[in-house]
Amino acid sequence: MLGENHAFSIEFPALKELLVELSARDPDFDTQNKSYCRLDEEIRNLELGGAPINDETMHQLKHDRAVLKDKLYTRLINEKNE
């Protein structure tokens, strides 16, 4: 779906508190989380704004977002299970 928001707080509401906590105490995690949020917003804006972008570039942006999401999610789950 075009323009869908993939923010962690929407997709994983049960992890929201842990996301905030981990972002506050781990600068590397916080940097990755902010990169994920910026990338998600960029993709949404491109989709909704009809900005000229080729399919390969959009695919790469979405791939990069998925890679970051997996890293963040894995870290959150590992933190939760400790």
* pLDDT (average), residues 49-74: 91
Which pLDDT does position 1 carry in this prediction? 56
pLDDT confidence bin for 5, thresholds 50/70/90 = confident
Residues 6-22 have pLDDT tens digits of 888 888 999 999 999 99
Nearest-angstrom CA–CA distance, 82 and 67: 23
- How many Cβ atoms are within 10 Å of 76's Cβ, its own excluded? 21
pTM: 0.88
**Quick one: average pLDDT of 19-44?**
95
